[in-house]
Every structure is written in C-alpha cells, then in structure tokens.
C-alpha cells in the first residue's frame, strides 16, 4: 500500500471522516481509479471493521464512526464513478442490510455503484426484516433486491428474505443479490439468490446483462 492508501484504510477502520475524505482525494490525484480505491482499500477496511465487531472489540459507536468515514470517502469518489455504457439498462434496486445486522458499509457501496449506473436506489437501511424487503419490492416495482449481511449469524436471514419474496409471488420478478463478507458463491446458490455480491462493480454488470435479456425476451 502507498502512504495515502494506508492512511485511507486506517481512516475507515478508525472512523476518521475528515482523514478519509482527504486521503481519497489524494489517491485520485495520484491516478488511482475509484474502482481501485473501493476494491483495494475500502472493501478490505470494511471487512476489518466487521471482524472487529464480531470479535467484540468494536461496538455500535465504532461502527457508526466507520460508516461516516466510509460515506465521506464515497462522497469524494461518487462524481468520478462513471456508468458503463455497454449495457444501457436501468431499473429500480432495493437495498438493505438484513434483520439483526447493523453494518451498512457494503450496502452503501453497492447502492452508490448502482446509482452511478443509472438505477433508482431505494435504501431501506439496516436491520431490515424480510417483510420490509418484500413490501418495498412490491411498492416500488423493484427489478433488483440486494441484501447485505456482514456476520455469519445474520447471513441466515438472506434465506428468509427469499422465502418471503416467494410467499408473495414476486420472487421471479426480481433479481436477488446476496452480499457481505461471509457470503460465498456456494451460499448464494444454496439459498436460491441470483447474484453473488462479492464485488459491487461485477454485480451491477451481471444484473444489467440479466435485465437486458429479460427485457429483450419480453418484447
């Protein structure tokens, strides 16, 4: 890591929003792309925050401070995140962190990237019940439902969200993304989600391709 990269990483983990903003600007000036900054610095820092919380070394105030630092970094990056023009499909995406989980860094990252790609993003926040996910998908006629979990214990809620979508008869109408540090491709397949949200940029590319095929077939 360069000096500025290390500074940004520490700023996210330590919850220093001013330092996060300044370091992000410096990295852009050094020629790093928003994707490099997000994938190589913000995401690892987010994972570290989640690990510290699971170990009992971080509590709610630390999580809030880290979220603010993350948000400050994203505020600098957002104008530089260009939407790709290869698959010009937009839609409505509902995002939230599942019930029992208050981590929002990964969700915020995904929301920012999808917004940059032209989606209308409905952010439900954290600790979202399966019922609220499903109600929002119905209310906003969502094309995408993205659910984040940063703990192995709350990851199980992702299955419950999908079951609720099935119960309401709307599962086939939405593309479901399951993301978060402990989430694996195998888990995504097991619960019947459509996209593994390992990387927000990769996820939005896959979702746009899926939407283009769906809409092409509907003509």
| Chain segment 179-219, per-residue pLDDT in tens | 988 899 999 999 999 999 888 888 999 999 999 999 886 54
Report the distance separating Cα 128 and Cα 143, nearest Å. Answer: 18
Question: Radius of gyration over alpha carbons of the chain, in Å?
Answer: 17
Percentage of the chain beyond pLDDT 70 is 95
Taking all residues of the chain, what is their mean pLDDT, rounded to a whole number?
90
More confident residue, 140 or 215: 140
Q: Which two tokens stand for residue 1?
A: 């890591």
Query: What pLDDT is recorded for position 219?
Result: 42
DSSP calls for 141-204: T-SEEEEE--STTTTTHHHHHHHHHHHTT-GGGSEEEEESTT--HHHHHHHT-SEEES-HHHHH
Whole-angstrom distance, CA of residue 215 vs CA of residue 104: 31
Better pLDDT: 17 or 83: 17
pLDDT over 80 (residue 85): no
Query: Residue range 53-82: average pLDDT?
Result: 88
Q: Which two tokens stand for residue 131?
A: 């019922």
pTM (global) more than 0.85? no
Q: Residue 88: which pLDDT band, with cuts at 50, 70 and 90?
A: low
Looking at mean pLDDT, say which of 29-38, 44-53, 129-138 comes out highest. 129-138
pLDDT attached to residue 215: 85
Query: pLDDT: is 16 or 87 the higher one?
Result: 16
Q: What is the mean pLDDT of residues 26-45?
A: 91
**And the tokens for 95?**
């995002």
Please give the residue that has the higher pLDDT: either 110 or 162.
Answer: 162
Confidence (pLDDT) at 158: 98
Please determine, for residue 124, whether its predicted confidence score (pLDDT) is greater than 60. Answer: yes
pLDDT of residue 159: 98
Residue 5 has pLDDT above 80, yes or no: yes
């Amino acid at each position: 890591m360069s000096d500025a990269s290390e500074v940004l990483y520490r700023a996210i983990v330590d919850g220093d929003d001013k330092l996060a903003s300044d370091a992000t600007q410096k990295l852009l000036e050094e020629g790093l792309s928003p994707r490099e900054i997000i994938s190589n610095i913000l995401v690892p820092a987010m994972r570290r925050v989640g690990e510290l919380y699971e170990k009992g070394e971080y509590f709610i105030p630390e999580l809030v401070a880290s979220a603010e630092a993350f948000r400050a970094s994203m505020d600098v990056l957002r104008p530089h995140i260009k939407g790709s023009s290869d698959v010009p499909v937009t839609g409505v995406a509902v995002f939230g962190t599942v019930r029992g989980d208050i981590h929002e860094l990964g969700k915020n990252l995904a929301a920012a990237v999808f917004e940059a790609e032209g989606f209308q993003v409905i952010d439900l926040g954290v600790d979202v019940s399966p019922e609220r996910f499903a109600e929002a998908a119905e209310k906003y006629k969502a094309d995408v439902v993205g659910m984040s979990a940063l703990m192995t214990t709350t990851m199980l809620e992702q299955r419950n969200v999908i079951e609720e979508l099935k119960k309401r008869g709307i599962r086939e109408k939405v593309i479901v993304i399951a993301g978060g540090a402990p989430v694996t491709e195998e888990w995504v397949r097991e619960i019947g989600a459509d996209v593994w949200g390992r990387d927000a940029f990769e996820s939005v590319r896959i979702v746009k391709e899926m939407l283009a095929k769906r809409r092409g077939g509907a003509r």
